[in-house]
Amino acid sequence: MPSFKLLNSGAGGLDFAERIRALYDHFEQDEVLVTTSFGNNSAVLLHLVSQVQPTQKVHFINTGFHFPETLAYKERLTRLLNLNLAEISPSAQINDLSLRRRFWETRPNTCCYLNKVLPLERFKEHHKVWMSGLMGCQTTHRQALQIFEPPSISEKIIRFHPLIDMTEEQSRQFRCLHRLPPHPLEERGYGSVGCQPCTDCAPGRNGRWKDHAKTECGLHTAPCT
């Protein structure tokens, strides 16, 4: 496999679909972990994957705290794009503990870790590369990410962000061009949609973890409890 410097240099000159297509020159389908949140921009990556590698399994982390609209959107996109969808969930005990203790109010990092980060860990161990639809325009942390990120000290998986340099306008144009339906809450003013207890109606990501010094759930950063 080429160096990460060469990979990023080469991928930077490709369009978004070509990047995903090129990934499968280096990895088998079963080695690729694809995740989605079924959030506002999720349809872009899902459409591309469905066109480039239609049998690729796509994983949705069902925390148990999603908006009903998100779950309905999941069903709609799964049918529309004929996705090979699988769900990842926290244990019933952990989910119930989070609900009873209302961790999202007092310990949001713990809540995200128990219901998102931890359930995904066992899946990451069985794959070589993790593809997600992160966009650099979403947060300061994501602005610093490259298309390919090498494994960290604590994990062996390579992270692949084919849309990292896509702008919000490009995302809107892509969804319009391919007639992809918007998330139902986007039409009601939600700039970003996560779990229901931690998401308010606001532009951009301003409605995520309101009143907390938190901008990431922890999936795409070093886990923190």
Instruction: Report the catalytic residues.
Output: 217
Exposure string of 176-200, with b = 16+ CB inside 10 Å and e = fewer, is eeeebeebbbbeeebbbbbbebbbe
What single-letter amino acid sits at 29?
Q
Q: Angle of helix 4-12 relative to helix 16-23, nearest 10 degrees? A: 140
Residue 202, Ramachandran bin (φ over 0: left; ψ between -120 and 50: alpha; else beta): beta
Residues in the chain: 225
Angstrom distance (rounded) from CA 198 to CA 104: 7
Beta strands, E only, the chain = 32-36, 57-61, 84-88, 129-131, 148-149, 158-160
Reported as type and span, the H/E element at residue 43 is: helix 42-52
Mark residue 175 as left, alpha or beta (left: phi above 0; alpha: psi -120 to 50; beta: remaining).
alpha
Q: Phi, psi at residue 206, to the nearest 5°?
A: -65, -20
CB 108 within 8 A of CB 198: yes
